[in-house]
Amino acid sequence: MEAVNRKEQRKSARRPIALKAILYPSDGTPFFGTIQDISFSGMFVETRVKAPPLKTQISLSFRLGAGEQRNQYRMSAVVARSTADGMGLLFEDYDEHTVVSLRRVYRETLA
């Protein structure tokens, strides 16, 4: 099911990235995916499983960096878009920790 194109609604630029992630849908079994791009408002995750329904709450976990600088990130999001290749996730529950984490991730994708 394809949702309305949200490109015009983006508040920040997407950064291409290729990171393995574990996704934990609120109403299902965890599964693996690959983050294809990320921005301050969300990300697109490629998956080999059918995406959960739109508006499903998802917690995801991924690592970024190398060696001692490797950090683990956890984010809360909601499924905003679904395609044959994966899903667009919209971050939610922004708190200070989330904003700091997103800034780090965004900077590290430039390296």
Residue 94: predicted pLDDT: 67
**Does residue 9 sit within a domain?**
no
What is the number of domains present in the chain? 1
Residue 53: predicted pLDDT: 94
Residue 56: predicted pLDDT: 95
**Does residue 4 sit within a domain?**
no
At 62-85, the pLDDT tens digits run 887 767 777 788 889 999 999 999
**Does residue 56 sit within a domain?**
yes
**Does residue 86 sit within a domain?**
yes
Residue 82: predicted pLDDT: 95
Instruction: Note down the domain range covering 99.
Output: 14-108
CATH number at residue 32: 2.40.10.220
**Does residue 39 sit within a domain?**
yes
Residue 1: predicted pLDDT: 42
Residue 89 has pLDDT above 90, yes or no: yes
Residue 11: predicted pLDDT: 61
**Does residue 7 sit within a domain?**
no
Residue 80: predicted pLDDT: 96
Q: In sequence order, what are the beta bridge partners of 103?
A: none
Burial of residue 55, with CB atoms counted within 10 A of its CB: 0-12 exposed, 13-18 middle, 19 or more buried: exposed
Q: Within 10 A of 36 (CB to CB), how many other CB atoms are there?
A: 17
At 1-57, the pLDDT tens digits run 444 444 445 566 788 889 999 999 998 899 999 999 988 889 999 999 999 999 999
Residue 103: predicted pLDDT: 76
